[in-house]
Structure formats: C-alpha cells, structure tokens
Amino acid sequence: MTPQRTPPTHLIDGEESTRPEGPDPRPEPTSRFLRACRRLPVDRIPVWLMRQAGRYMSEYRALRARYSLLEICAEPELAAEVTLQPVQALGVDAAILFADILLPLIPMGADLAFVKGEGPIIYNPVRSAGDVLRLRRIDPEIELPSVPETIRLLRKELPPEVPLIGFAGGPFTVASYLVEGGPTRHFRTVKGLMYEQPWTWHRLMQLLRDIILDYLTEQARAGAQALQIFDSWVGALSPEDYQEYVQPHTAYLMRGLRKTGVPVIHFGTGTATLLDLMVEAGGDVLGLDWRVPLDQARRRFGSRVALQGNLDPIALFAPREELERQVMRVLHQAGPEPGYIFNLGHGILPETPVDNVRAVVEMVHTYRPQDEQEAGDE
C-alpha cells in the first residue's frame, strides 16, 4: 500500500504568510551588524564568520586540551571565554554563542557522544513512531540552563557595538542526526523515514520545531540580539521534498520567532535550488553558501531579505593576493545597497591560518562600496 504523504492537519498548522507586512516597529539599532540585518545603511560592511570560535585558534585548542566540547558548553564561564576569543583577536562585528546544535537532544533522551575522528554519534537513533514517542518534550530554560546563563555573562562582557548571536540547528538538520545516528553523506535513512512513515516524520518535526522555538526564544529572552538557524544539511533535499516535508515546519518556527523581536538568519548549504522556498519560509537574513553568485541573489531577494555570505572557506588557505581577490569579488557582487553581512559560505576549517582570517576582517572593514559607486558616477 502506498504510504499516505499528506500529514495530519493538526501537525502542519498556521498561517499562509510567514513574512510581516508594513513598517518595522522595532527601534532602529546602532550596531552595523544589526543595522545590516534590518537593511539599514551602515558605515562599513559588517563581518563575522561561522565557527569563528573554534579549533583554528590556539586559545581554543588550549582549553580543549583540558575540557571536552560538552564540558565547555555546560560551563557558562568557559563557553563565554571561547565566544569572546575571536572578538578580541579578530575585531569581528558580532559574536556568536559557543554551543552545539545537538545540545537539546541530550535532555530529550538521545544517547549522544562526540567521538574523535567521527563527530557526533547518537547510539539510540530514532527510526519508528515508538522512538519518537519516547523522546521528551523539554523546557530549555530548566534543562539547558547553561545556555541562557552564558548569554547573560556575554552581554555583560561584550562591547555595546558587538551584538551577540544565538543559534540552533534547523529542524531537518537536527532530525538528520537523530535519525541517521550521526553524520551522513547520502541521507538514506532519514529520507526513508520521510517516504515510508510520513506521519512519524511529521510528528518528529513537530516536536523538534517546538523545542527549537522554545530554545531560541529563551536565548533571546536571556539577551541574544540575533538568532541564526543552521539548517546546514537541508540542501540534500529536492525542492519538492523540502516543500512537503520541511518548509511547513520551518515556516511555523519562523512565525514563532517573530515574537522575539530580534532578527533571524536562515542558513543552509547546497541550497541553490531551495532559496525561493527558504525565503518563503521566513527570516530577516538569508545565509548563502559559496555556490550561489551573490549578485544574482541580490537581484532575486535583495528587496525582501538581507543577505549574508559567502566566501568559500577554502579561500582562507590561499596566498594573500588570491585571498584578497576572492574577498573583493564577494564584496563587489554584494554591491553598495544596504542589507549585506560578509561571512563565509560555511564554517572555518580547523587548520585555517589565523592571520588569514584576521586579514579578511581587515579587508572587509577597509572596503567602501560607496567609493566604487562614486567612481562609476564620474
């Protein structure tokens, strides 16, 4: 018998529109990063980098020699210290909370471990309706208290002009780890669950989206000034599968996050065929990987959302002359219009030279797109 593909209506609820209309009622921000999120003019293009706190920095490696990843995440003073390291070393325009997208799965009942050389492994993956029913609906404020406490510490330590970004994994990406039991290249098991047990899939996505909404709302309540949803692996889906199995849940999540009043960045990789659907799902900023020409994205979406991206992380290993050429290409494609944040098209790799990262931040800060515009007008 052919599996029923239409989810029960009580699982896919909500409004047709995911994007607010009319003037933005929020006060106008002063930081260049938050202004860019709102597509307001800035004095310089803001820059921050995904995984800017991590293994490429010697300060972080020194801490990891003494503590595991989960131990750092559980200790607010350590997590705050790691978050601040790139702000102090690089001069970026925003800090991003040091945590992991899989943290909520632990109190939900996942047997999660980070295994050297393999990454995150879940020893009790979700493969059936019974497995979904065994997952716990958690209260992040109570069961993940280290995260809001880290945010409160950081807001005291960060300069006023450097906002703090909170984050969570997107529903599909978190579900992928939970169903596959770890990283995957082909997504065979998670797609099999989608196709063979659509009711089970939608129940899992409903649970995850609700927990992610609570988790991110708590981060904003604690002081996060922007939020990023890392749906990193959603590019594994066709547009048709994304629209049927993921977009309704992401749209529900985005509608809920509007109530926080902070800008939301929506990011995935390999999403060139999904960008229109992701914009429909919601968010103030669309994060682009390096496969998408930034100027084309500006023409398609620039009047609807701000854009973030999209230097190839491998360019950070290039000779300085080539690195500068790549950075300038991205900046030229972005153009002079408001609503752009420089970033990578994915996270910084562990072996990346710190001097090259610092050089990129300096290149972006010294670039003035209005100079090009004025030169073209002469």
Residues in the chain, overall count? 378
Where along the chain do its domains lie? 39-377
Per-residue confidence (pLDDT) for residue 373, from 0 to 100: 54
Taking phi first (over 0 means left), then psi (-120 to 50 degrees means alpha), and beta for anything else, what does residue 280 get? alpha
Residue 77, CA distances (Å) to 80, 89, 151, 323 in order: 5, 18, 10, 35
Per-residue confidence (pLDDT) for residue 40, from 0 to 100: 96
Structure tokens at 19: 């994007």
Per-residue confidence (pLDDT) for residue 8, from 0 to 100: 45
Per-residue confidence (pLDDT) for residue 17, from 0 to 100: 44
60 in active site: no
137 in active site: no
Catalytic residue among 55, 258, 300, 329: 55
Q: Which of 50, 14, 72, 39 is nearest to 232 (CA)?
A: 50
- Give the model confidence (pLDDT) of 159-188 as tens digits: 999 999 999 999 999 999 999 999 999 999
In 91-246, which residue ranges form alpha helices assigned H by DSSP? 105-108, 129-134, 140-143, 146-157, 171-180, 188-196, 198-222, 239-245
Neighbours of 268 (CB within 10 A): 26
- How far is it, in rounded angstroms, from Cα 121 to Cα 222? 30
* Domain covering 39-377, topology: TIM Barrel (3.20.20)
Using the structure block, give the residue that is written with the tokens 């860019």.
Answer: 36
Catalytic residue among 56, 60, 177, 252: 177
**Exposure b/e, 17-50, CB count within 10 A at least 16 = b:** ebbeeeeeeeeebebbbbbbbbbeebeebbbbbb
- Give the model confidence (pLDDT) of 286-321 as tens digits: 999 999 999 999 999 988 999 999 999 999 999 999
**Exposure b/e, 70-108, CB count within 10 A at least 16 = b:** eebbbebebbbbbbbbbbebbebbbbbbbbbbbbbbbeb
Per-residue confidence (pLDDT) for residue 64, from 0 to 100: 94
To the question of pTM greater than 0.85 for the whole model, the response is: yes
Per-residue confidence (pLDDT) for residue 25, from 0 to 100: 63
Structure tokens at 72: 């750092």
**Could you state, in chain order, the average pLDDT of each consecutive group of 10 residues for the chain (378 residues)?**
44 49 68 97 96 94 95 97 96 97 97 88 96 96 97 97 97 97 94 97 98 98 98 97 98 98 97 97 97 95 94 98 98 95 96 97 90 50
Catalytic residue among 19, 44, 64, 300: 64
64 in active site: yes
- How far is it, in rounded angstroms, from Cα 195 to Cα 213? 25
276 in active site: no
Catalytic residue among 39, 51, 127, 255: 51
Using the structure block, give the residue that is written with the tokens 């995911």.
Answer: 18
Q: Which of 217, 97, 71 is nearest to 157 (CA)?
A: 97
177 in active site: yes
